[in-house]
Each structure stands twice: as C-alpha cells, then as structure tokens.
C-alpha cells in the first residue's frame, strides 16, 4: 500500500506544511451515487502550489475539485462541492468515470494566520 493512502501520513503532511506557514486543504469524499471511482471517506490533501497527495477521483473530475479547493484555500472557507462524473470526458487517460459525488473541502491555515476574535 502506498503511504499516500494512509491517513496518518496525510495528517502528518498537513501538520508539517502548516507548521512551515503554508496553507493546505483536506478533501474528503462524503457522499456518492452511482458507480464512482472512489469510496466514501477517501481523502486527498492539497497544497498551496496545487500539488496534492492521494486522489478523490483517480483522474475523474479531479481538475474541477482541484480548482475549487485552491479557491477554498484562498478564502479559508470550507465548502461542500458537488462533482458530476457522468459527463466527464477522461477517456483519453483511460479512466472509467461515472456517478456523482460530494466532496467536503476543508482548508487549514497556519496558526498565526487564524482569525482572532
């Protein structure tokens, strides 16, 4: 099993980046309908530069999720994002896409950036 599939590893990575003053976002599949490529609970950790560890789409709908995640990271606001994979055209990469899923995007900010009130 690759270490990226491991929750302990993802959490460590997230904390490490935050400690360095970077923003990250954890993306989690929370609901699926139809035959989606990933199961509920699958996670992806996205970094500020757009790189990520793990995958919630296996190539399907990933560009949309990534774009939305970078936006959420910018604003600092968590969001529930709806992904329709039924119309996805990822044939070129050979991925089998299908189904509908909701992913929850949770940005995490470095501690000194956190809002104070």
Binding site for another protein (CB under 8 A): 1, 6-8, 11, 15, 28, 30-31, 40-41, 76-80, 102, 104, 106-109, 111, 114-115
CB nearer to another protein: give 72 or 97.
72
Q: DSSP character for 48?
A: T
- Beta carbons within 8 Å of 97's beta carbon, 6+ residues apart: 37, 57, 59, 60, 61, 85, 86, 88, 90
Whole-number minimum distance, CB 106 to another protein, in Å? 5
CB nearer to another protein: give 9 or 95.
9
Whole-number minimum distance, CB 102 to another protein, in Å? 8
Per the CB < 8 A criterion, the answer to whether 57 and 65 are in contact is yes
């Amino acid at each position: 099993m690759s270490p990226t599939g491991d929750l302990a590893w993802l959490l460590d990575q997230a904390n490490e980046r935050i400690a360095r003053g970077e923003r990250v976002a954890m993306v989690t599949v929370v609901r699926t309908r139809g035959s989606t490529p990933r199961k509920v609970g699958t996670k992806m950790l996205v970094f500020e530069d757009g790189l990520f560890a793990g995958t919630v789409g296996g190539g399907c709908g990933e560009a949309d999720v990534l774009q939305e995640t970078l936006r959420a990271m910018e604003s600092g606001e968590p969001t529930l994002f709806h992904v329709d994979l039924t119309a996805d055209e990822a044939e070129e990469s050979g991925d089998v896409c299908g189904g509908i899923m909701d992913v929850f995007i949770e940005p995490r900010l470095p501690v000194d950036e956190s809002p104070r009130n």
